[in-house]
Amino acid sequence: MTSNRLSIRSAAALATVTLLAGLTAGQAAWAQGKGIDEPFRDAYRKTLAGKTVAYVPVALGFDLAQGWLEGLKKELEPLGVKIVVRDPNWNTNAGAQAVTTLISEKPDVIVVHNPDVQTYAKLLQKAEAQGIQVVQINMRSSYPSVVYVGADWVEVGEKATNAVAAACKGKSNKIAIVQGALSAAASAYTLKGVENVLAKNPDIKVVSSQAADWDAAKAKGITQTVLKQHPDLCGIGGFWDGMDSGTAAAIKEAGLTGKVFLATSGGGEQKGACDQVKSGAFDLDLSYDVPTQASNMAASIKWLLQNPGKTGTAKGSIYTTLIPITKTNAGTEGTCWKLGKT
């Protein structure tokens, strides 16, 4: 019996030695209960350290642009990535000049928020031809760069208009549309979503569809006129909550808050979205979730920087999941995000 036990132990020991001999040093250490070096982290960190990402929003002084920048810094700066910012401050020509200058400076990545579909298109193509990766955020140009991160604007238009149509049932069926800038992809694609829903709801009558150019004062003026002409208006579909603060103000001044259903969309920041819904200014605010967009951009950038090659050969989109903000969830912690706390 003792001889058999010794034989079994000897065989087990021999099997262990044989197993360890066939493993790498790291695997052998792990098999012995020791920690092992992660083989990829050093290369990952070395690849990202010292890289430069340039960021060109349409303007820096509003929640979307600030939230994206906060998220990019949070994800990239601890890895040694330098982020440079160019702020055109709503000036399209200044934005084009900024992108032109950046191409000559050759950052590794340019993140751009296009003011319209044409102005930056050839510049972005030139940037990628010169080996600069281009990430477009939330508003595309007509040139499809390596990656787009942002809202599915057709879906935004469809969901907002479905909500307005539902709110108008049994009422006048008269609605108004407050667009952004006619030349902006976000506005044009949102309008397509509106049209998709209207085609299925022939009873809904659009009494006004005008562009307010992302300007709250213009949105307020348009809405004031429409409400005077159509005091029985039952709903409005607005294209951005930053602009539709003006739309809501006109509704309030007319004493029609709660009677004219206002659906809009935005980045989901606390003051611009949840607080407005809680106050009754907006009935629905479709959030495209800026912190998630920033995280998606940062992940895309990390991947691109680790996979150098001919830029622009592979192209893709990352659409963020919409978060409908209503009075039901506007007061719930986590529905919206807060600037400075992303």
CATH code: domain of residue 265? 3.40.50.2300
- Domains identified in the chain, total number: 3
154 has pLDDT over 50: yes
Per the confidence metrics, is the pTM higher than 0.95? Answer: no
In a domain? residue 332:
no
Q: Are residues 187 and 94 part of one domain?
A: no
Strand duo 323-325 + 261-266: pairing: unpaired
Q: Which two tokens stand for residue 130?
A: 């010169």
In a domain? residue 113:
yes
Q: Are residues 73 and 48 part of one domain?
A: yes
- pLDDT tens, residue by residue, 192-208: 999 999 999 999 999 99
Q: Which two tokens stand for residue 213?
A: 């150019």
Nearest C-alpha neighbor of 286 from the set 295, 297, 276: 276
Q: Are residues 125 and 6 part of one domain?
A: no
In a domain? residue 208:
yes
Q: Are residues 99 and 211 part of one domain?
A: no
Please say whether the beta carbons of 153 and 324 come within 8 A.
Answer: no
In a domain? residue 263:
yes
Give the H/E segment covering residue 32. Answer: none
- pLDDT tens, residue by residue, 81-99: 999 999 999 999 999 999 9
Number of neighbouring beta carbons within 10 Å of residue 278? 14
Domain boundary among 245, 271, 287: 287
- pLDDT tens, residue by residue, 102-136: 999 999 999 999 999 999 999 999 999 999 999 99
Q: Are residues 88 and 183 part of one domain?
A: no
- Which residue segment(s) compose the domain that 262 sits in? 153-287
In a domain? residue 239:
yes
- What residue type is 184 in one-letter code? A
In a domain? residue 27:
yes
The chain-wide mean pLDDT, for the chain, equals 92
Residue 141 and residue 136: Cα distance in Å, rounded? Answer: 8
Q: Are residues 82 and 11 part of one domain?
A: no
Nearest C-alpha neighbor of 109 from the set 297, 342, 320: 297
Q: Are residues 195 and 70 part of one domain?
A: no
Nearest C-alpha neighbor of 273 from the set 338, 194, 199: 338
338-341 CB contacts, 8 Å cutoff, 24+ apart = 338/269, 338/270, 339/63, 339/66, 339/67, 339/70, 339/269, 339/270, 340/70
Q: Are residues 294 and 146 part of one domain?
A: yes
Q: Are residues 217 and 92 part of one domain?
A: no
Residue 155 and residue 146: Cα distance in Å, rounded? Answer: 22
- pLDDT tens, residue by residue, 166-196: 999 999 999 999 999 999 999 999 999 999 9
- pLDDT tens, residue by residue, 254-281: 999 999 999 999 999 999 999 999 999 9
Torsion of CA 102, 106, 107, 109, to 10 degrees: 90
Q: Are residues 147 and 194 part of one domain?
A: no
Q: Are residues 196 and 298 part of one domain?
A: no
In a domain? residue 327:
no
Q: Are residues 116 and 63 part of one domain?
A: yes
Which position has the token pair 């065989």?
11
Report the Cα–Cα distance between both ends of the chain, in Å, rounded: 68
